[in-house]
Amino acid sequence: MNFPNPQTAAILRELSHDLRTPITSSSVTLEMLDTAYDSLDEKDRRRFVAIAASQVRYLGQLINELHCLSESAVDPGPREAIDLAALLGNEMAARRLLSPSLTWEACIPSDGQVFHGCRSSIVRMIRNALDNASRFAASTVRVSLCTEGDGTRLVVLDDGEGASAEAVRAFGEGAPPVLERGAFSSMRSLGIGSAIMKRAADAHGGSVSLSNWETEDGRVGGAQVIFEFR
């Protein structure tokens, strides 16, 4: 597969390397479970199975991101008139069913907003933004859509701890450096997801940025991803 964008090629190399980790871990865990099964009590058996299942889920996530990134590296496809308000409404309704533990708030105009673009590319862009917000949110994900002059502005924010300076700097370039083991999956998803979002925005003549939003008393309220199209 030929990728003219060197950043895309670099991200794919990172992903290819990262695929080895869950594969090796799953293999070792299952082999240990197989050889020591009779000597393990039920609690330890369940623990090993849970570890292997977690690694398989992470492997599936990496493969899905690899597929999405490869699709975003080519021409986005035919353009059509897209009702962004209706599209966002459907995506938010699905999230409320799939992730009921979070509050999904939407400020979307009822009269609809027509946007000309590649539907599959825009859907991937929105879903990655919602995926990342849901991973970092403490309890709430909020989406707003509005027109500004002759342009469109879409904001997806969460009420988590906010984005680090390094995450803001690396947004759209790929995966930022990961320092804490527990944060690996989320930080990796933010990096690859941001690359997918940036490529979709670029392909439609728009821009995307990551920043932190502040509460009324000046505290960081969480992170926000802002899309702007003219």
Q: Residue 15: give its domain's CATH number.
A: 1.10.287
Task: Looking at the structure, tell me whether residues 187 and 162 fall in a common domain.
Answer: yes
Q: Which of 72, 100, 123 is the last residue of a domain?
A: 72
φ and ψ at residue 4, rounded to 5 degrees: -70, -25
**pLDDT of res. 91:** 92
Q: Note whether residue 1 is domain-resident.
A: no
Residue 80 Cα distances to 6, 93, 169, 227, angstroms? 29, 23, 33, 19
Q: Note whether residue 25 is domain-resident.
A: yes
In eight-state DSSP terms, residue 183 is G
- Specify the number of domains making up the chain: 2
**pLDDT of res. 40:** 84
> In this structure, what token pair is assigned to residue 156?
């997806």
Task: Looking at the structure, tell me whether residues 13 and 53 fall in a common domain.
Answer: yes
**pLDDT of res. 69:** 59
Task: Looking at the structure, tell me whether residues 37 and 84 fall in a common domain.
Answer: no
**8 A C-beta contact, residue 124 and residue 131:** no
Q: Note whether residue 102 is domain-resident.
A: yes
> In this structure, what token pair is assigned to residue 3?
């990728």
Beta strand pairing call for 140-148 and 206-214: unpaired
List of the chain residues with pLDDT < 50: 176-189
Place of tokens 């490529």: 199
Task: Looking at the structure, tell me whether residues 68 and 108 fall in a common domain.
Answer: no
Beta-carbon-side half-sphere exposure of residue 202 (alpha carbons within 13 Å) = 13
**pLDDT of res. 154:** 96
Task: Looking at the structure, tell me whether residues 44 and 99 fall in a common domain.
Answer: no
**pLDDT of res. 186:** 44
Task: Looking at the structure, tell me whether residues 36 and 127 fall in a common domain.
Answer: no
Nearest to 209 by CA among 178, 177, 183, 170: 170
Q: 65: domain range?
A: 6-72
Rounded Cα distance, 156 and 144, in Å:
7
pTM attached to this predicted model: 0.67
